[in-house]
Amino acid sequence: MLRALPLTAQAFAPFGEVIEIAGRESLSINQGTSQRFDDLAHIDVLEAGGRPVISIFRASPRALPFEVRVLERHPLSSQSFFPLHGRPFLIVVAEGQQPPVAPRIHAYLSSGSQGVSYRRNTWHHGLIALEQASDFLVLDRGGPGENCEEIELESAVTVT
């Protein structure tokens, strides 16, 4: 059993960035009518002739406890998600580049005003919405090359 912890920039640092404005400095722009919280994640999508691609994912809701059986990673790019409905969602990641096993798997719960950017080659679960079907803005890579690897865990991990 793995308990999902609150998502924080510090806890998530080994896996990528939390996209959020809490605790960040901003620039005043547009004659003072907007605040810009600049450059919140490392968008690493240009490898091997890649280009940035913006998409929307609509995710069906899943329930807790949630059984993690398969993780994926992207060898050619980061992949960034931001929730469009302000609802918490579940993030599951694994430390290191080796095939993931339970002690190296971590789960976090976004507040709903936090997105995440998975660093290239970071093992993570596909998008997990909770409660209701939810839309996410997604920034990843288009271009040549195979950019998705999936792995089935030797033993499933249950996230509560």
Classify strands 134-142 and 51-59 as parallel, antiparallel or unpaired. Answer: antiparallel
What are the Cα distances from residue 44, in Å, to 66, 99, 123?
A: 30, 22, 16
Out of 79, 80, 110, 122, name the contact with a copy of itself by CB under 8 A. Answer: 80
What are the Cα distances from residue 134, in Å, to 41, 84, 149?
A: 22, 7, 25
What are the Cα distances from residue 72, in Å, to 79, 112, 122?
A: 11, 23, 8
| Residue 21 binds to a copy of itself (criterion: CB under 8 A) | yes
Query: H or E stretch including 12?
Result: helix 9-12
Out of 11, 48, 70, 156, name the contact with a copy of itself by CB under 8 A. Answer: 70
Q: Which residues, 6 or more positions from 101, have their beta carbon under 8 angstroms from its beta carbon? A: 153, 154, 155
**34 vs 103, beta carbon nearer a copy of itself:** 34
| Residue 143 binds to a copy of itself (criterion: CB under 8 A) | no
Binding mask 23-62 for a copy of itself (x = CB under 8 A): ---x--xxx-xxxxxxxxx-x-xx----xxxxxxxxxx-x
Residues 97-136 that bind a copy of itself (CB under 8 A): 113, 115, 117, 126-127, 135
Out of 4, 7, 18, 19, name the contact with a copy of itself by CB under 8 A. Answer: 19
**CB contact at 8 A, 56 and 159:** no
Peptide bond into 144 cis (omega under 30): no
Min dist. Cβ of residue 36 to a copy of itself (A) = 5
Residues in contact with a copy of itself by CB under 8 A are 19-21, 26, 29-31, 33-41, 43, 45-46, 51-60, 62, 70, 80, 82, 84-86, 113, 115, 117, 126-127, 135, 137-139, 142
